[in-house]
Every structure is written in structure tokens, then in C-alpha cells.
Amino acid sequence: MLLNEIVEYNKEFVDEFEGSKLSHIPQKKLAIVACMDTRLTDGFLEKAMGISRGDAKIIKNAGNNVLDRDVIRSIAAAIFALGSKEVILVGHYDCGMSNVDGEKLKSIMLERGIYPEEIAKIDIEDWIGSIDSEESNVINGVNKIKSSPLIPDDVPVHGLIMDPITGKVDILVNGY
Ligand SMILES: [Zn+2]
């Protein structure tokens, strides 16, 4: 069982790790919104950007989507409660949320026992956060954050796009 494997591994990890006393305040005063993509895990996104443990608040979800009010909540918490002064939204090429097939998703959900009337209540592609283009998703996301009445105007919001193979980032929006 995967969970047992994880808990077993954790015992060894804790035995070997000497612990660290990092603050919960991000040292680079930075909040990052990124995709949950599996290739950006194990610190890949952070290493590619020179972000160390303790440097930034990192908010991840499917498709670095900022439509969810929880992303704005987390950015606001990073700014007002935790001292972040800049926000970077990082998208990536070859995103799994690109052009999601709504009909296919619907049939998988039905097969898995989700009630049709529940599926009928949502616009499936919109709800799951299907994106047409990774670049425009970043630009739209940056605009959503900037136009939120709960995010102060003096916080620069930048938009980057990452190549998940090489880690290279390109600036799509320079928030300065
Ligand atoms: Zn993605």
C-alpha cells in the first residue's frame, strides 16, 4: 500500500534529517502560483527559479488556475498575514489541463458513480479549468489577480511560463 510505504519512508527520513528552524515568513517575500504538474515536483520548479526552502509561499492547483476564490485567499494570506510583496504566476507548456475533453471527462465521472444530475449542474470544461493556451491562461490569471479588489495595487504580479522538460522560464508579464 502506497500510504504504508510513505509512512515507512518517513520514519527513516526523520531519523536522518537533523531538522531545521525556518520561519513561516517567506524570506524572498514572494508568493508563487503554479500548476500541480508532476514534473514540477521534487523542488523542480523551485530549483529552476533559485527558490530555496523557506523562501516563498507556493500555491498549486490544476492548471495554475486563479478562478478559484481559494487562490485569491491564499495570495491575500501570503501578502497580508505573511509579508509577501510580490506574486509570480507560473504556467508551463504541455499542461494536462490544456484542451480537456469535457465529454470524455463526463463519461469517466459517470462510470465512477458521480450522479448525472450533479454533472448537469456544472459547465464541465469551465469547472475543471480546461485551458485553450498555456500562455493566455497565465496572462488571464495575472489580470485576474491584479483586478481582484482584495489584492493591493502596489504588489507586482508577474507571469512566467516554464518548459517542464528543461525548466527554462520566459516572462509573459513583467509586473514592475
Ligand atoms: Zn499543468
Alpha-carbon span 87 to 83, nearest angstrom: 11
Ramachandran angles phi, psi of 168, nearest 5°: -65, 135
Please provide the CATH number assigned to the domain covering 24-98+133-176. 3.40.1050.10
Residue 94 CA, ligand 1 centroid: distance in Å: 7
For the chain, what are the domain ranges? 24-98+133-176, 99-131
- Residue ranges for the known binding site for Zn(2+) are 35, 92, 95
Instruction: State pLDDT tens for residues 134-153.
Output: 999 999 999 999 999 999 99
Instruction: State pLDDT tens for residues 65-87.
Output: 998 789 999 999 999 999 999 99
Residue 123 CA, ligand 1 centroid: distance in Å: 20
Share of residues in the chain with pLDDT > 70 (%)? 100
β-sheet bridge partners, residue 34: 60, 90
Decide: helix, strand or coil at residue 6: helix
Query: Which range (21-25, 28-32, 137-141) has the least confidence?
Result: 21-25
pTM metric for this prediction: 0.93
